[in-house]
């Protein structure tokens, strides 16, 4: 339950960065890498 909340928090955080930088591809890769780390 706590992990799901963290993932949602990270996704909103990274999407905010993506909008600010307009560098969606790299930011998405970074966020997926972080989420992958959390899940393992």
Measured between alpha carbons, how far is 5 from 25 in angstroms, rounded to an integer? Answer: 23
State how far the alpha carbon of 40 is from the alpha carbons of 11, 27, 29, 30, in Å.
17, 20, 17, 16
Q: Please compute the mean of the pLDDT values over residues 14-21 and round it to a whole number.
A: 73
Measured between alpha carbons, how far is 3 from 6 in angstroms, rounded to an integer? Answer: 5
User: Is 22 within 8 Å of 35 (Cβ atoms)?
Assistant: no
User: Sorting pLDDT into bands at 50, 70 and 90, what band is 37?
Assistant: confident
pLDDT confidence of residue 25:
67
pLDDT confidence of residue 23:
60
Q: Please compute the mean of the pLDDT values over residues 25-40 and round it to a whole number.
A: 81
Question: Can you give the residue ranges of every domain in the chain?
Answer: 2-39
């Amino acid at each position: 339950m706590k992990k799901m909340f963290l993932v949602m928090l990270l996704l909103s955080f990274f999407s905010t960065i993506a909008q600010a930088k307009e560098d969606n591809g790299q930011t998405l890769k970074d966020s997926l890498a972080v989420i992958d780390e959390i899940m393992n």
